[in-house]
Amino acid sequence: MFSVLYIYFKYFEVLQLSFDNDQLVEKIKSMDKDEAVEILLSILSTSKNMESKIKAVELLIQFDDSNNTHFQTIKDTFLNDRHPQLRLQLIKLIGTYYKEKGIDFLKEQYKNCSDGTVRKNLIDIVGKVDLNASLSFLVEALNDANMEAKKIAITNLGKISASEALIPLINMLHFRNTEIYDSLINAIVKIGKKGNLEIIYDYIDTEDPHIKREIPIILGKIGSKESAAVLIDFLKDDNPIIRKNSIKALDGIIELRNVKHVIDLLTDQDIEVRKEVIRVLGNVRSKRAINPLIESLKENDAKIRNLAKNALYKILEKTKSYEPLFEVVKGRNINARREAVKLLGMLKDVAAINLLISLFNSKVASLRGSAYRSLLRILDNKIDNKIISALSDKSWQIRMFCAKIIGEIADPSTIDHLFNLFEDENGSVRKVAVDALVKFDNKKVIDFAIESLKSSNWKTRRAAVNLLLRTGSKESFNSLISCLNDEDVYIKSWAAMALGKLKDIDSIEPFIQLLKENDDKIRISAIKALGEIGNKDAIKPLIEVLGDDNWDVRKEIENTLNQIDPDWMSYL
């Protein structure tokens, strides 16, 4: 043992330095173990500086005291000083070296701890060091006012297999505290999985609705097939929450022979119950649920229909025939037809292509849209001959949607088929054919369009001009020069507008000639084009037509002159 005088001297020497000083910490660490511990205990017993005491305990943790030599000093400090940070460090120290005597001491002091954080750490240490002998202590800690302390007590009880821990935990469900709910359920499930189902079954007929509604959830998480019969009985309960929770719990443990009990609840009055039924039936994948789920596709609630569609997909994806869906598509209920169409797309059923094409002729826009999207999913970026053949269908809507599909896939081998639609009698079909061709990054499209400008059919020429306008290349624009002399009013005006976008155009003479056209639209297009080109040689010809009979033409001339040169009046 060191002399009192020596210890005093060393203690005095240490006090000359602040505990914030790294030099002091290193000095203590470099001392003989017993010497360092004696000094730290002296600081702990006599210092009035709380930071020094806390630091002393932190350093004591680094020195082994497996012989429990200094427990009394640690114990006295805990009893005499209630500073939370100091107590937290003392709890850590006790849990590290004084487990046998220390844990019992901490249990005794639990009720005297006013700080919730201290109690939380105390419960945590007790659970880590002496779990199996702390059942009654942890049950008592369930009543702690500090929610974190309560949560740690719950978690520790879940690690104990003793059935005595189950009842107090289940009774806590009565309070429906959301902060501890997950911890509470997990703890009950852990104990239940260790063979304590009978205690849980005792609560099946409880009059406490808050506990009763959680029993199915607990049984479902335990996942014992023995519980299926109990859960099936719960499906008849008057409380819709209990019915819903029971259905959810049956997911994964119900046998196929008992699926009927779940299917029966597809007509439940509570919509949340029905949603859970549909979800579970999809996971169970019983073919017995196909027709009942198809009926659910008729529901007005969009979420119900979507759940039913997804459930049917899970069931049908492993089958080879989707005939029931074909019948639905041909039926009368719009909701069911639309969802069945979407489902055929999800299943990528090639056999459904003709049926879906026929829906393009439907009077219902949502059916046409759903059929279009489903076909794209089925085709998977590859053109089917049925789509090509449908370009000749007598229905203009079928022709239009098939052209749109071809544009989305943009297979170069289909370019000729789209150009054939330039002569289609329906303007919408011709427009979609142009829209589709614009999506092709292929020189062949421009070459075809330029060649089509020579066609004697005005529909073809208009479509070709439209396409060249949309492609936007100089080659496209230059080919439109010949269109300025076209007999078609629209072609002339479109060409003029398009050519006006070229800043480096060789001659404005073709546009000057258009100023003499009889049709107002052509004259206005030519005037706008000259404004875009911005060539000052156009000023005098424009001034000459300022007296146009049409007010709109005169206004456009004035705007264009200002655009080319704000000082245009000096040319008069």
536-561, pLDDT tens digit by residue? 888 899 888 888 889 998 998 899 89
Query: Could you give the CA distance from residue 21 to residue 364 in angstroms, rounded to a whole number?
Result: 82
Residue owning tokens 């959810």: 248
Query: Could you give the CA distance from residue 141 to residue 130 in angstroms, rounded to a whole number?
Result: 15
pTM of the model: 0.77
DSSP alpha helix (H) spans, 16-83: 22-30, 33-46, 50-60, 71-80
- Where b means 16+ CB within 10 Å and e means fewer, 15-52 reads beeebeeeebeebbeebeeeebbbbbbbbbeebeeeeb
In this predicted structure, what is the pLDDT of residue 505? 66
Of 133, 193, 204, 143, which Cα lies nearest the Cα of 168? Answer: 143
Angle at 343 between CA 335 and CA 359, to 5 degrees: 65
Q: Which of 21-35, 134-148, 190-204, 300-314 has the lowest mean pLDDT?
A: 21-35
In this predicted structure, what is the pLDDT of residue 437? 95
Residue 1 has pLDDT above 80, yes or no: no
Query: Could you give the CA distance from residue 13 to residue 35 in angstroms, rounded to a whole number?
Result: 13
Share of the chain above pLDDT 70, in %: 92
**What is the rounded end-to-end Cα distance, in angstroms, of the chain?**
121
SS (H, E, C) 368-380: HHHHHHHHHHHHC
SS (H, E, C) 417-434: HHHHHHHCCCHHHHHHHH
Q: Which of 269-273, 286-290, 306-310, 486-490 has the lowest mean pLDDT?
A: 486-490
Q: Which of 142-151, 390-399, 544-553 has the lowest mean pLDDT?
A: 544-553
Query: Could you give the CA distance from residue 176 to residue 197 in angstroms, rounded to a whole number?
Result: 22
**Secondary structure letter of residue 481 according to DSSP:** G
Q: Which domains does the chain show, CATH number per domain?
A: 499-572 (1.25.10.10)
Q: pLDDT digits over 48-75, tens only? A: 889 889 999 999 998 887 777 889 999 9
Q: Is 4 exposed, middle or buried (0-12, 13-18, 19+ CB in 10 A)?
A: exposed
- Where b means 16+ CB within 10 Å and e means fewer, 290-327 reads bebbbebbbbeeeebbbbbbebbeebbeeeeebeebbe
Share of the chain above pLDDT 90, in %: 64
Residue 17 has pLDDT above 70, yes or no: no
In this predicted structure, what is the pLDDT of residue 49? 87
In this predicted structure, what is the pLDDT of residue 475? 67
**Secondary structure letter of residue 131 according to DSSP:** S
Q: Which of 79-83, 135-139, 218-222, 318-322 has the lowest mean pLDDT?
A: 318-322
- Where b means 16+ CB within 10 Å and e means fewer, 542-554 reads beebeebeeeebe
Residue 179 has pLDDT above 70, yes or no: yes
- Where b means 16+ CB within 10 Å and e means fewer, 58-80 reads ebbeebebeeeebbebbbebbee
Sequence-separated (6 or more) residues with CB below 8 Å from residue 434: 463, 466, 467, 470
- Summarize the confidence of residues 524-542 as an average pLDDT: 85
Residue 506 has pLDDT above 80, yes or no: no
Query: Could you give the CA distance from residue 278 to residue 369 in angstroms, rounded to a whole number?
Result: 26
Distances (CA, A) of 285 to 245, 259, 313, 314: 20, 10, 9, 6
Ramachandran class of 472: left when φ > 0, alpha when ψ lies in -120 to 50, beta otherwise: left
The Cβ-side half-sphere exposure at 271, using a 13 Å CA radius, reads 8
In this predicted structure, what is the pLDDT of residue 512? 83
Query: Could you give the CA distance from residue 379 to residue 358 in angstroms, rounded to a whole number?
Result: 16
Mean pLDDT score across all residues of the chain: 89
Query: Could you give the CA distance from residue 44 to residue 21 in angstroms, rounded to a whole number?
Result: 18
Between 473 and 557, the more confident residue is 557
